[in-house]
Amino acid sequence: MFECCGREFVNNLDLNRSIGMFRTLYPVRLQLADDDMRTSIINVKEHMKQVPNKGIGFGAIMGNESNELPLVSFNYLGYFENKHNENGNEDGWSLLDAHCGNSLHDNTKEVVKINSLIINKQMRLNIKTKMGIELTVQFGKAFQINIEKIIKHTQSLDRSYLTSSDVHYVIKNNDYLNRIQLEKEVEAIFMANSLQQGLLFHSLKQGNVDDAYIVQSVFQYRSNIDQNCFRIVWEHAQQRFSSLRLRFDWQEELVQIVDKKQSLDWRFIDLTAEEGDVSNQESQIKQIQEEDRNDRFKLDIGNLFRVYLIQQKIDLFVLIFSFHHIILDGWSIPILFDYVHQAYLNLIEGKHQLVSLPSSFRDESYEHAQMYLQKHSLDNIDYWENEINNIEERCDFNGLLKEENKNKVVLNQYDHVKEPKSRTLIIGDNIYRTLKAACRESGLTWNSILQFVWHKVLSVYGNSSQTVIGTTVSGRNLPVNGIETSVGLFIITLPLIVNHCVDSLIIDAIKDIQDKMNEMIARSNVDFSQLSKGKMKHSLFDCLFVYENYPSLEGKVEQKETFLEFEEKYGIGKHDYPLAVVAYETVRSECVTVVVNYAGELFEDDTIDDLLDVAHELLAQIGKDDVTTMAQMNVLPRKQLNQMNGWNNTSRDFIELNKHTTLHKLFEEEAEKSCDKIAVVYEDVQLTYRELNEKANQLAHYLRSMCDIQPDDLIALFLDKSELMIVSILGVWKSGAAYVPIGPSYPDKRIQFILQDTKAKIVIANKKYMARLHSCAIIKIEIDSIYVTLAGNSNSENPQPIASSDNLAYVIYTSGSTGKPKGVMIEHLGVINLKIVVTDLFQVKSKAESVSTLINYVFDPFVNHMTYALLNSQMFVILNDEMYGDKPRLY
């Protein structure tokens, strides 16, 4: 039977100073390995660790347990040390090693009872038995001999080894665990947290082609620094903060490993010999930075940070702190450097010895936080699965991309930025003060205001009523003591989903975002890799947003006799998000800075400037009395509004037009100028402009002979794609009528409806479709036969025009999906105006040689394609439907 105090097992309660009976008593079966001390120790340790809750609960079933309980009990009472005063005498009271009564009674079933404790670094054992004096003495000596063997064995080891219980069963495979700590002594092992998993996956995917997530913080010191002392302090910082001794493994489990010790990668560079040549010094520093970025960190080896101390003058130093983002977040930098600066000054003033710093300096919060995340990784899974399932639509940013990237790049899947660029917006003066007042009066934060604005910008440009932005939170809201001043990677990026409603009040929309963010922060301990399979229907977000509210570093640290004067010059860090926003407030300067980092290979600089202009315009409207609702917000700054007005200013003088200018009149002018050029191509058939014009004239004269045609009369066309289709259209125009295209694939009911609705005087059809028109009381012309009959035997001169520019050119019918099909009437003038504008816009006459179309003539764009070509002396190529998927023939 094993007995323990029972004070360490009540969740979140500290019972160490409570009075009462808390002890637990439970049986254990220990299995030893023959002649293998190491294995025996591990077996006992692991077996004891596996007892649930250290035996709490066993007492409730003792009375119902039919099996005999063990006859030997053991109780380890713990470690005690008597305090001494300045004279070396015991202070106040002390624990005596004296007999305090007999706890082994005749009515108990126990045969042996052992109590153990340590007093003043000495182990004391109290053994009571029912075996008699002689056997008890023999038992005690055997116990002592075996304890001494265990002590001798452990003393023979030069390092410690972790077992599965030490790593909380993150790794259950002992061989794998042993391989991890084969070459290095390990302090702890945890599952990699959510962001570390993402960064590790990115690193493995990109390999050495990408320097993303290598961060360089550059500090300048205007003080004389003792480089040896500075190095010692950095070594102690590495020992203080577990995250500075991390490495990673992913062979079986994706884990972060805290080594007990790693060597400091310290590099001192003396440039004082070139003190007079500042430019050369700066050039060498830049080269050092570049070489550092090209020297990739090996995540499975460790040493994931480097410190460069570069001396330029006796009192001028540059420090480059280079690290992989997988071990540290931005919040940690000022905490780390504040510790280094204070410890350095203490060391210089002799407050600590060079070889050691106080044992209390160790920061355990990082490891406690990782343990908490590990235990609670599933707490908020249901919440986040529900949130992700609420993502209904994504922004379409194709319009923001460079022309060569449109419809080729999916922004939320792009993970390798090749040309990192940035643009900056400074919010100051009146806008800053107005928004600062709004924060005070309405209980808002800068973070929620900026989130609102950026979501609105993306909603406008992405044409979506829902936006999803990756929002980075500190991750330091865990119930872990000292986490605010701990160093490590705590941040996590969470998807903030915003639904945009034009009827909302601006202040309510911002408060909704703020409430949503507070809820997200409260549920930030989540491992997204644990989401159920199939829940991740999309990449989580369209854009990254980071609001930095880190602790600040003062530019000067002072002690009584010494000081350090420094400034953080700049930071360099590349991520692989194609569009990311970083914002922060500078209270001293009364401004907020918004930096947009973007992939230069995807976006034009002007495009990003436009986004920032819109953001600035929206910020200027928040807090104004005359703008209270979302609908009242003007999303266009003056520059872009003027640009759009310019685009919409399409009025122009069509001085070459008059009332008698029609589409066929313009075609006749082109036919006269380009009579021998190829006009129409369909498969193996080609017609020159002269041939096309003459055949259209012949058909026009024939149509006039069939009936009295007046302007705005309608003639239906029921034709397949071919050159005859173009001859028929031009022939109808030249006759003075307008045409109505009917698709051969239309059902008979729709065909009859169109013919009745238009009251068409004539229908021109291919021979194979004539039978379908048998029941229609209308003049029918079979184009295949008439085409042959008219050739060479008819008037081929241009007919006398009777239509004008405001007469109908064609009537095209809608699909009828909302009811009956509706005929849309298009006049010559409208088509001519569009042709003139498009010809000028695309410079058709000077650049194009041919215009091809796959479009069926029942759709409006077909007319545009035809007129672009035939009214500009270009070749019009009609592609048959079989070429839709035939790329070799198409090109």
Tokens representing residue 438 in the block: 């709004």
**pLDDT one-digit tens code per residue, 337-387:** 999 999 899 888 875 554 455 545 688 999 999 999 999 988 898 999 898
pLDDT at res. 354: 47
Q: What is the pLDDT averaged over residues 681-691? A: 94
* pLDDT tens track for 301-351: 999 999 999 999 999 999 999 999 999 999 999 999 999 999 899 888 875
Q: What is the predicted pLDDT for the residue at 54?
A: 77
The candidate with the shortest Cα–Cα distance to 495, out of 377, 616, 386, is 386
Please check whether residues 634 and 678 belong to one and the same domain. Answer: no
CA dist 890 and 678 (Å) reads 19
Range name among 100-109, 205-214, 345-354 with the lowest pLDDT average: 100-109
Higher pLDDT, 555 or 169: 169
Mean pLDDT, rounded, for 254-280: 94
Q: How confident is the model at residue 328, as a pLDDT? A: 95
Amino acid identity of 213?
A: Y
**Angstrom distance (rounded) from CA 594 to CA 210:** 26
637 and 754 assigned to the same domain = no
Q: Is residue 655 part of a domain?
A: no
Mean pLDDT lowest among 468-482, 730-744, 755-769, 846-860: 846-860
Identify the pLDDT of residue 415. 81
Give CA angle at 854 (878, 772), nearest 5°.
80
pLDDT value, residue 888: 65
Residue 172: predicted pLDDT: 85
Q: Is the pLDDT of residue 61 over 50?
A: yes
pLDDT grade for 791, boundaries at 50, 70 and 90: confident
Same domain? 186 vs 38: no
Segment among 209-218, 311-320, 431-440 with least mean pLDDT? 209-218
Residue 22 within any structural domain of the chain: yes
Residue 87 pLDDT grade (very low, low, confident, very high; cuts 50, 70, 90): low
The answer to whether residues 440 and 521 belong to one domain is yes
Q: Alpha-carbon distance 491 to 483, whole Å?
A: 12
* Cα 184 from chain centre: 35
pLDDT at 388: 87
Domain-ending residue, one of 601, 624, 648: 648
The total number of structural domains that make up the chain: 4
Q: Which is nearest to 782 in space by CA: 772, 793, 792?
A: 772
Answer yes or no: do 675 and 786 share one domain: yes
Q: Name the DSSP class of 533.
A: T
Q: How many CB atoms lie within 10 A of CB 169?
A: 12
C-alpha radius of gyration, the chain, whole number: 42
The answer on pLDDT for 88 being more than 60 is no
Structural domain includes residue 147: yes
The 10s digit of each residue's pLDDT in 541-551 is 888 999 998 87
Last residue of one domain, picked from the residues 124, 156, 188: 156
Note the pLDDT of residue 124: 87
CATH number of residue 862's parent domain: 3.40.50.12780
pLDDT band at 612 (very low <50, low <70, confident <90, very high): very high
Alpha-carbon torsion 365, 367, 373, 376, what sign?
negative
Q: At residue 92, does pLDDT exceed 90?
A: no
Question: In the predicted model, what is the mean pLDDT of the chain?
Answer: 87
- The packing angle between helices 446-462 and 429-442, to 10°, is 110
Task: Please list the alpha-helical segments (H only) found in 115-226.
Answer: 133-156, 174-180, 194-206
In this model, does residue 655 exceed pLDDT 60? Answer: no
Same domain for 217 and 103?
A: no
* Residue 654 within a domain: no
Of 528-532, 585-589, 738-742, 873-877, the range with the lowest mean pLDDT is 528-532
- Higher per-residue confidence, 539 vs 317: 317
pLDDT band at 454 (very low <50, low <70, confident <90, very high): very high
Token digits for 54? Answer: 């250290």
Query: Do 496 and 584 sit in the same domain of this protein?
Result: yes
Residue 419, phi then psi, degrees to nearest 5: -125, 80
CB 388 within 8 A of CB 526: no
Mean pLDDT of 715-731: 96
The whole-number average pLDDT for the span 571-589 is 86
Confidence of residue 536 (pLDDT cuts 50, 70, 90): very low
Look at residue 317 in the predicted model and tell me its pLDDT: 95
Q: Specify if 161 maps to a domain.
A: no
Tell me how far apart the alpha carbons of residues 701 and 732 are, in angstroms, rounded to a whole number: 10
Query: In this structure, are 840 and 758 located in the same domain?
Result: yes
Residue 890's pLDDT band (cuts 50, 70, 90): low
428 and 361 in one domain? no
Share of the chain above pLDDT 70, in %: 90
- Examine the pLDDT at 13 and tell me if it is beyond 80: no
Check residue 760 and give its pLDDT. 95
On the question of pLDDT at 149 being above 60, the answer is yes
Task: Quote the strand ranges of 561-674, DSSP E.
Answer: 563-573, 579-586, 591-599
According to DSSP, the residues that pair with 877 across neighbouring strands are: 681, 852
- The reply to whether 168 falls in a domain is no
Do 333 and 217 contact (CB within 8 A), yes or no? yes
Question: Which pLDDT score, from 0 to 100, does residue 535 have?
Answer: 47
Asked if residue 454 and residue 310 are part of one domain, the reply reads no
Q: Which of 505-509, 669-673, 847-851 has the lowest mean pLDDT?
A: 847-851
User: What is the rounded average pLDDT of the residues 752-769?
Assistant: 95
| Whether residue 414 sits in one domain with residue 265 | no
The last residue of a domain, from among 596, 620, 648 = 648
Domain that holds residue 316: 174-365
**CA distance linking residue 793 with residue 790, whole number of Å:** 5
167 within a domain of the structure (yes/no): no
Q: What is the CATH number of the domain that holds 409?
A: 3.30.559.30
Which domain CATH number covers 305?
3.30.559.10
Q: How many helices (H) and strands (E) does the chain have?
A: 23, 30
Residue 165 forms part of a structural domain: no
pLDDT, position 753:
93
Residues 413, 459, single domain; the answer is: yes
Write the secondary structure of 498-522 as one string of H (helix), E (strand) and C (coil): EECCCCCEHHHHHHHHHHHHHHHHH
pLDDT at position 123, please? 86
Interhelix angle 860-870/723-735, rounded to 10 degrees, is 90
Among residues 812, 759, 809, 763, the alpha carbon closest in space to that of 783 is found at 763
Tell which wins on pLDDT, 131 or 542.
131
How many Cα atoms sit within 13 Å of 72 on the Cβ side?
9
Choose between 101 and 83: higher pLDDT: 83
Q: Which helix (H) or strand (E) holds 77?
A: strand 72-80
Q: Which residue has the higher pLDDT, 81 or 532?
A: 81
**How do beta strands 685-688 and 678-682 pair?**
antiparallel
pLDDT of residue 285: 94
